[in-house]
Structure 1
């Protein structure tokens, strides 16, 4: 609620809600706020014709309109406060890692890419193809047998861990260089070899608020993603 100027013992209510203050308010923000609305209504009551007073229904309608204006101002203030608090809390995610549905992720020095995929059926033939930034096949990892359900993995550029077990497989002595990679997970599902949807880890570079008021995470190698689409906070 807007605050009307301070009063003293010799000032009347109508003095504090004068036409001059209304004009000053309009010049400053060019909007009819709650204080200006109340000012107009009281001025109208003070200057009405005693022989033809304002109709009761019109007065009640104005009171209802005043309540609506007050309610909207309070709602707007509460919403701005809510969004500010959410943005402040979300800013703590900057520098952390989250998992979102994506085919690409960035491998950084001394770290790894975490990912997952859901299998509707168990399979004896699952493999992961990893492509570099130029689209060339960098590694093909034969995972083999995987049960039905969620499969999780971690890849550090050289070796891979699947469902908590380190595979007896190595890409060689030289690890893949840091950079952006695309992951393709293929598995036999109900008699067909299918590409599975993948969720991959990504670092949160910054946080912003979208046009619709939703919190947006700007992820390395992926781009802007709404916070509601994050599958896991690492």
Structure 2
């Protein structure tokens, strides 16, 4: 193997008598630079035509505005850091709890059950169908709503024949009424919070079997 040694091509600045690339200078105008420029302006102004007070005050106002914007940016950065820390603390408290989200499908292991609630519109019978990936109803739950509101339900993971339903994705369909009066109802499922992610848009809950959902979609945490 041929070793590659240092040549003049390794340092293109050598031809100009420089050992390394010149250091890039900060071209921004800082507070000290602004004050120095104003001092020099006052020292070299024309005695017969001195700087107008209005112009001088205008420059001071511009300097105050620039300095204020810089202070505000620092304050906003500190506030954002505090809010992110607060989100992290809230996220840690949610792990291990059950969260109820507006979703009707869940990935279950063999014989695994799930609980949730139905948004009932009126009192009366409510039917919940558990449908597998092939579109076949494996279980049918009959509930009775006492009025409009949340109607809790639970499925133990057993099929209609009494055996455990195999692992897979299951969808829950709820309805009330009969015939032409049949109405579909909203389903909400509960699952354990496995972890929480802090995204630019806010907190995202990673739920067992339900995937990731933003905190805004969570109806209840228990």
| Unaligned stretches of 5+ residues in structure 2 | 1-22
Structure-2 change in CA distance of 1:221 and 1:111 (3 Å) = closer
Shift of 1:112: 3.4
Q: Does 1:73 align with 2:74?
A: yes
CA deviations 1:61-106 (Å, max 9, x no partner) are: 2112211220122112211221132123213323432100011124
Give yes or no for contact 2:111–2:164 (8 Å, CA) kept in 1: no
Q: Does 1:231 align with 2:219?
A: yes
**Aligned with residue 186 of structure 2, among 197, 206, 217:** 197
Structure-2 change in CA distance of 1:104 and 1:74 (3 Å) = same
Give yes or no for contact 2:122–2:147 (8 Å, CA) kept in 1: yes
Structure-2 change in CA distance of 1:152 and 1:63 (3 Å) = same
Structure-2 change in CA distance of 1:217 and 1:39 (3 Å) = farther
Q: Residue in 2 aligned with 1:133?
A: 133
- How many corresponding residue pairs? 191
CA deviations 1:125-155 (Å, max 9, x no partner) are: x211101234332212233x32212211122
Q: Residue in 2 aligned with 1:84?
A: 85
Q: Residue in 1 aligned with 2:30?
A: 37
Q: Residue in 2 aligned with 1:57?
A: 58
CA deviations 1:173-213 (Å, max 9, x no partner) are: 42223443210011118x7111101110123233223333x
- In the alignment, the residues of structure 1 paired with residue 96 and residue 169 of structure 2 have an alpha-carbon distance, to the nearest angstrom, of 17
- In the alignment, the residues of structure 2 paired with residue 130 and residue 31 of structure 1 have an alpha-carbon distance, to the nearest angstrom, of 67
Q: Residue in 1 aligned with 2:164?
A: 175
Instruction: Give the SS at the match of 1:184.
Output: strand
| TM-score, normalising length: structure 2 | 0.72
For the pair shown, which has the larger CA radius of gyration, 1 or 2? 2
- In the alignment, the residues of structure 1 paired with residue 95 and residue 140 of structure 2 have an alpha-carbon distance, to the nearest angstrom, of 32
194-203 vs 38-47, which deviates more?
38-47
- In the alignment, the residues of structure 1 paired with residue 210 and residue 118 of structure 2 have an alpha-carbon distance, to the nearest angstrom, of 18
| Unaligned stretches of 5+ residues in structure 1 | 1-23, 159-169
- In the alignment, the residues of structure 1 paired with residue 81 and residue 133 of structure 2 have an alpha-carbon distance, to the nearest angstrom, of 41
Cα RMSD, aligned residues only: 3.0
195-204 vs 221-230, which deviates more?
221-230
- In the alignment, the residues of structure 1 paired with residue 37 and residue 109 of structure 2 have an alpha-carbon distance, to the nearest angstrom, of 69
- In the alignment, the residues of structure 1 paired with residue 218 and residue 161 of structure 2 have an alpha-carbon distance, to the nearest angstrom, of 34
- In the alignment, the residues of structure 1 paired with residue 27 and residue 205 of structure 2 have an alpha-carbon distance, to the nearest angstrom, of 34
Q: Residue in 2 aligned with 1:11?
A: none
